[in-house]
Amino acid sequence: MVARLLTTALLILLAGATASAALSRQLCLSCHPVHYAGQGSCTACHRGNPASERKNIAHQQLIAGRYARFTLANDPLTRVGVRLLEQYACRRCHVIGGKGNRLSVSLDQATVRRSPGELAASILRPVQNMPDFHMKETQVTAVVNALLSDAALQPPAPAARPQVVHFDQAGSAGRDLFSIKCGPCHQMLTERLGALGRGDAGPNLSGVLSPFYPKSFKDDEEWNAGRLRRWLDNPRAIRAAARMRPVKLSEAEFRDLLGILGVGNVK
């Protein structure tokens, strides 16, 4: 009996000691060995809650190992991700690292609201108005590391930033010039009319007249109104192998089109 009381007292003492130790050391170490010693605390790279010995609590908002690569200096996988963001021109629709068009949600804010796993899932299985880039899983992991690294460099975005308006696909959609003349082959997000077009024979033209669209006109040149006009008049005069047929537009129709394509982006 006395022995049991003593044991209980000892246990209580031990528990108290552990709780106060939580303040000075990370309880992650009660289950994990130290690694990357000298490069910061566990939670500096992985988030999580260092004050609990219970896995579910300790792992809250955990950044798993594969998404924590961006925390390492000059990490090659993160560099691959940064290149993919450029190559696929994600900024034609998203603000990333403070730069890009606001045609869709800011990915700087998404990295705060969503877990790395959720971000990866959004890229692997994109929603209706986001192109499917058919990336391999390792490429998606690289991109998520890049998003986290860019976001980490940014000050928190102002809360009252206007969000994109999402338009009903039904209603008046489909009767604008883009939907009629370009929509059978192209899709795009626009500031004025939301998501337009249904086809995917040609590229997604979101932000085509902005600096965040690929410089794909010719010889690494970016698109502008004059070049778009020349392209529409005769694509093969620009690229000999172009599959797109000429689209004849009157001056008024072309001005109308420019009004639909225009975006006010973030530099």
Is 95 a residue that touches ligand HEC (CB under 6 A)? no
Q: Which of residues 59-78 bind ligand HEC (CB under 6 A)?
A: 59, 62, 64-66, 68-69, 71-72
Stated length of the chain: 267
Is 263 a residue that touches ligand HEC (CB under 6 A)? no
Q: Which of residues 130-149 bind ligand HEC (CB under 6 A)?
A: 130-131, 133, 143
Residue 16 or 65: which CB sits closer to ligand HEC?
65
Is 46 a residue that touches ligand HEC (CB under 6 A)? yes
Residue (of 186, 163, 170, 174) closest to 245 by Cα position: 186
Inter-residue contact 9 to 1 (CB < 8 Å): no
| Token pair 């992650």: residue | 28
Q: How far is CA 213 from the centre of its chain?
A: 15
Residue 13 or 83: which CB sits closer to ligand HEC?
83
Is 181 a residue that touches ligand HEC (CB under 6 A)? yes
**Residue 80 to residue 226: CA distance in whole angstroms:** 34
Is 27 a residue that touches ligand HEC (CB under 6 A)? yes
# of chain residues touching ligand HEC (CB under 6 A): 76
Q: Which of residues 194-253 bind ligand HEC (CB under 6 A)?
A: 201-206, 208, 214, 216, 228, 231-232, 235, 242-245, 247
How near is the Cβ of 1 to ligand HEC at its closest, in Å? 33
Q: Which one among 22, 77, 98, 114 touches ligand HEC, defined by CB under 6 A? A: 114
Is 259 a residue that touches ligand HEC (CB under 6 A)? no
Amino acid, single-letter form, for residue 110: A
**Backbone CA torsion sign across 113, 117, 118, 121:** positive
| Token pair 């009996």: residue | 1
Q: How far is CA 207 from CA 106, 178, 188, 212, 213, in A?
A: 15, 14, 8, 7, 6
